[in-house]
Amino acid sequence: MKKLSSITIGVFLFIAIACKKESTPGSTPVPPPPIDTSTSAIKYTGMFENGPYGTATGTAKIVESNGKYSLRLEGFRVSSGPDLKVYISKEKQPLNFIRLGNLQALSGDQAYSIPGNPDFMEYRYALIHCERFNHLFGSALLMEK
């Protein structure tokens, strides 16, 4: 019984540490160009809040330009972790989501293309998620502008 408890604690600690210690993107991305308000419109916006496995700050914006949508992260910062992905999701815990790609950098302004034309009244969250261990690092509830 004592051995089983030790193994269980060891596995839990491995997972918890693995999602916090390993670094993600190594290169600094080129920041996206400023939003051209003559051809673009900010449709939804939200502030990042910490998840149970990381810290996240900054603003998430859904921007429409010529009928195409993108998610912009501005003044963004997130704690380090492995396999971090960017999603838009129907719920705060990613069950029904659209994967926008790998996180480009742990800090700075970033932009991600959103495929298709999702219903943003349903896809209301921007998420930073450790896909390997299914750990949420941060979320932003997107509200209509």
Q: Is 50 helix (H, G, I), strand (E, B) or coil?
A: strand
CATH of domain 2-144: 2.60.40
pLDDT, tens digit, for every residue of 68-84? Answer: 999 999 999 999 999 99
pLDDT, tens digit, for every residue of 126-137? Answer: 999 999 999 999
> Quick one: which of 46, 5, 11, 35 has its CA closest to 111?
35
Residue 7 has pLDDT above 70, yes or no: no
For the chain, domain boundaries = 2-144
pLDDT at 11: 43
The confidence band for 39, taking pLDDT boundaries of 50, 70 and 90, is confident
Cα–Cα distance list, 92 to 17, 68, 123, 133, 136 (Å): 23, 24, 10, 16, 9
CA 16 to chain centre: 19
The pLDDT of 52-79, averaged and rounded, is 98
